[in-house]
Amino acid sequence: MDMQATLVRSEDNESLVNRLRQDPGAMLQRYQVVRAFTEELCSPLATEDYVVQTMQDVSPTKWHLAHTTWFFETFVLSKFDSSYEPFHPRYAYLFNSYYVQAGERHCRDKRGYLSRPTVEEVYRYREYVDDRMKSFLQRIGSSEWQEAAPVIEIGLHHEQQHQELILTDIKHVLSVNPLRPVYRERAVEPPSVSIPLDWVPFEAGLYDIGHDEEGFAYDNEGPRHKYWVDNFLLANRLVTNGEFMEFIRDGGYERPELWLSMGWATVEEKKWKEPFYWEPSRNEGDYVLFTLSGERAVDPNEPVCHVSYYEADAYARWAGARLPTEQEWEVAAQQIAIDGNFVEDGHFHPVPADPSRSATLHQMYGDVWEWTRSQYSPYPRYKPVEGALGEYNGKFMCNQFVLRGGSCATSRTHIRPTYRNFFPPESCWQFTGIRLARDV
């Protein structure tokens, strides 16, 4: 699967956005590319793989396929296309996720109970909506376009988020199966290399943080505002599996003084002894890990992945360092091109930092989402969008931590320096990792 060819790579996100906003035809083309990529990601799956929900956080693949379609049906076609007839009267109920202002919805933790609609019916639903979107965009007038374009734009970013979730969720589904099915064989084995850990200094100052409204951003990335940041050091690369194994060997999972109180309670309750998807191998002290290409030995040079905030925080404390704040991360990222190991690269797993790349900061984008020490809060003067779409971000600003930079399951065109992802501190089924920071 040469995914790189599928999506635009050469254009930067800001100019892409500007072009799309001015041209319904370009938007349609973009729509078709993004929607097709979702289906391309599903191509390795058996029908049965689309159905299963292995924990509450995980949704069945067919739900993702339908929910992203429901988004365009509900927020675009039903709003702006007066001739539109819904594909099925109950789908609005089945495939709403959490938009309370968009009506009642089926229980999240029971998505795996639904054998119908079948996968084939869901694909027909996609086809139906895609056809309607096409004819809608081909005949759209300019005043409708002003209103609809930003919603379609959100819909495409929403679809890209669910592309990432399809991968992380199907990884979980396959992982709990004793047969250990493979999503896709590893095409090329990246060399296992390493670069030394180094600390990059940043100067104190009153920085501008948040999105400047050029190009696309979610509402939670703004408004741009002043924020004082002290002098700090940021690690030049991600924490590796090898380093994390040192932490384990040093009793990291047995020493409560390294952990937040709730983190330690979680370690004890869930009996955590190593990162998620790791298992001790038959050789004492070694580990194997489950990937979308199957099970293999832990490579000490790869970034550690699938760690919770609690583990990231405990590791940092053990290492005599700390996690960066989201503002520190953004200050550093503002100076860096958006490049890295993304979903289009087809690894579906983080890879070691490349010593041949002459960069000050490695792996800032792609590979793994980087936990920050910042709890997810509104920026000053933050105002959610009006209506159901305003539920996208703001109502989750509680008991979650911010992650930055995207992962190997993120689309290159989906990430930005100001992008704020967020998960509860115990979450580890996403591709999440660690970059250290220190006070000067």
Interface residues with a copy of itself (CB under 8 A) are 46-52, 54, 90, 93-94, 98, 100-101, 106, 110, 112-119, 173-174, 176-179, 181, 206, 225-228, 230, 256-257, 259-264, 309, 373-378, 380-381, 391, 395-399, 425, 439
CB of 110 to a copy of itself, least distance (A): 7
CB of 375 to a copy of itself, least distance (A): 4
| Complex with a copy of itself: residue 63 or 247, whichever CB lies closer | 63
Q: Where are the beta strands (DSSP E) in 250-348?
A: 278-280, 287-291, 294-297, 340-341
CB of 380 to a copy of itself, least distance (A): 5
CB of 33 to a copy of itself, least distance (A): 28
CB of 272 to a copy of itself, least distance (A): 16
| Complex with a copy of itself: residue 92 or 351, whichever CB lies closer | 92
> What distances in angstroms separate CA 97 from CA 50, 104, 355, 364, 430, one per listed residue?
17, 9, 43, 31, 19
| Complex with a copy of itself: residue 365 or 423, whichever CB lies closer | 423
CB of 180 to a copy of itself, least distance (A): 9
| Complex with a copy of itself: residue 14 or 98, whichever CB lies closer | 98
At a CB cut-off of 8 Å and minimum separation 6, what does 188 contact? none
At a CB cut-off of 8 Å and minimum separation 6, what does 230 contact? 204, 439, 440
Q: Is the dihedral of CA 105, 109, 111, 113 positive or negative?
A: negative
What does the alpha-carbon distance between residue 223 and residue 381 come to, in Å, rounded to a whole number? 7
What does the alpha-carbon distance between residue 353 and residue 243 come to, in Å, rounded to a whole number? 14
CB of 227 to a copy of itself, least distance (A): 6
| Complex with a copy of itself: residue 136 or 183, whichever CB lies closer | 183
Q: Which of the 8 DSSP states describes residue 272?
A: -
| Complex with a copy of itself: residue 244 or 309, whichever CB lies closer | 309
Tokens 């930003």 appear where?
A: 150
Q: Do residues 416 and 14 lie in contact, with contact meaning Cβ atoms separated by under 8 Å?
A: no
The alpha carbon of residue 343 and the mean position of all alpha carbons in its chain are separated, in whole angstroms, by 10
CB of 266 to a copy of itself, least distance (A): 10
| Complex with a copy of itself: residue 118 or 135, whichever CB lies closer | 118
> What distances in angstroms separate CA 293 from CA 45, 218, 230, one per listed residue?
13, 32, 42
Q: Which of the 8 DSSP states describes residue 239?
A: P
SS3 176: coil
Residue 104 phi, psi (nearest 5):
-65, 160
| Complex with a copy of itself: residue 172 or 347, whichever CB lies closer | 172
What does the alpha-carbon distance between residue 418 and residue 411 come to, in Å, rounded to a whole number? 15
